[in-house]
Amino acid sequence: MHGPTDRMTRTPLAAGEAMLRKLQLHTSFTKTERQVLLALPMNHAYFAARDTIVHEGDALTRSCVLVDGFAARFKTLPDGSRQILSLHTAGDMMDLHSMVLEVADHGIAALSHVRVTYLTHAALLDASDRYPVIARALWRETLIDGSVFREWLLNIGRRDAYSRMAHLICEMKVKMEAIRLAREDGFPFPVTQAELADATGLTTVHVNRTMQRLRRDGLISTRGTDVLVEDWDALVDAAAFDPTYLHLRNH
């Protein structure tokens, strides 16, 4: 694993935009607040698929925003088995909690070629102190994060493999739509079955067979790494999916 391409330059506009768009899904900002957020000092870095963005146990002084691509947070057991805790898309602030907790109790890995932006905790805390709405928005972002973990707990603890996979696909579709990265002919989902296995608590073999069944049943289809939902109602039904836990305004 050759380290990231780390460019200590001012961030391109799009980086702040991705974060802002995401925060605006649940919070309204004034013009000033938007400007403050966009003016935060940002460094960006690129990672290749399979790179580790943050290592478990690291002490952190900055949080990272996923600007482009797919990433996952994970924990590993001494025996090497891995559990993916969450999947992330553009705009996600993946370790905002480290702003307060300061030590990474889990790792973050790139699933595809990825671009991330770093925000120092110092700058975030400063903006939070000066603008209560920003503080509240960041807090809310971490709370939604927690809400998603709770849903995943239900997913892994009580749904069977079929329902579990269906639920994961529902979640990804809704997330991709929220940030306008889903199209009529499906959404990109460049995640290997081994990674899906780590995310669902299953094995790759079983993920494979379950995905086959979802296709055979006409709920989804795939083309390359894109997923197309063929029958949303049936998928939602199979998953017992209720998007409330995502706390998105438009859902």
Considering CB distances under 5 to 8 angstroms, the limit depending on partner class, which of DNA, a copy of itself, none binds residue 41?
A: none
Cα distances from 198 to residues 72, 175, 184, 195, in angstroms, run: 10, 20, 28, 5
Select the residue interacting with a copy of itself from 81, 221, 222, 225 (CB under 8 A): 81
**CB closer to DNA out of 209 and 247:** 209
**What is the chain's percent helix, strand, coil content, to nearest 5?**
45, 25, 35
Q: Cβ 143 to a copy of itself, closest distance in Å?
A: 5
Q: In which residue are the tokens 């579709």 written?
A: 173
The sign one gets for the Cα dihedral 226, 84, 40, 9 is negative
Residues 220-249 that bind DNA (CB under 7 A): 224
Closest to 55 in 3D by CA, of 1, 8, 10: 1
> Residue 77, interface with a copy of itself (CB under 8 A)?
yes
The stretch near DNA (CB under 7 A) out of 10-18, 97-105, 179-187, 193-201 is 193-201
Instruction: Select the residue interacting with DNA from 46, 204, 228, 247 (CB under 7 A).
Output: 204
Only one residue has tokens 């493999």, namely 161
Q: Which of 69, 92, 98 is nearest to 20 (CA)?
A: 92
Q: Which entry of DNA, a copy of itself, none binds 211, CB below 5 to 8 A by partner kind?
A: DNA
Closer to DNA by CB, 10 or 50: give it: 50
E runs forming strands in the chain: 5-7, 42-47, 52-54, 62-68, 71-76, 82-88, 107-110, 114-120, 187-188, 220-223, 226-229
With vertex at residue 140, the alpha carbon angle to CA 93 and CA 133, rounded to the nearest 5 degrees, is 100
For residue 21, the SS3 value is helix
Stretch that binds DNA, among 117-125, 136-144, 170-178, 194-202 (CB under 7 A): 194-202
Region of 19-27, 191-199, 231-239, 243-251 interacting with DNA (CB under 7 A): 191-199
Fill in the per-residue mask, 139 to 158: x = in contact with a copy of itself (CB under 8 A), - = not in contact.
xx-xxxxxx-xxxxxx-xxx
If one asks whether residue 3 binds DNA (CB under 7 A), the answer comes out as no
In angstroms, rounded to a whole number, what is the distance separating the alpha carbons of residues 188 and 181? Answer: 8
Q: Which of 32, 35, 221, 244 binds a copy of itself (CB under 8 A)?
A: 244
Is 159 a residue that touches a copy of itself (CB under 8 A)? yes
Residues interacting with a copy of itself, by CB under 8 A?
73, 75, 77-79, 81-83, 85, 97, 100-101, 103, 105-106, 129, 132, 135-136, 139-140, 142-147, 149-154, 156-159, 200-201, 240, 244-245, 247
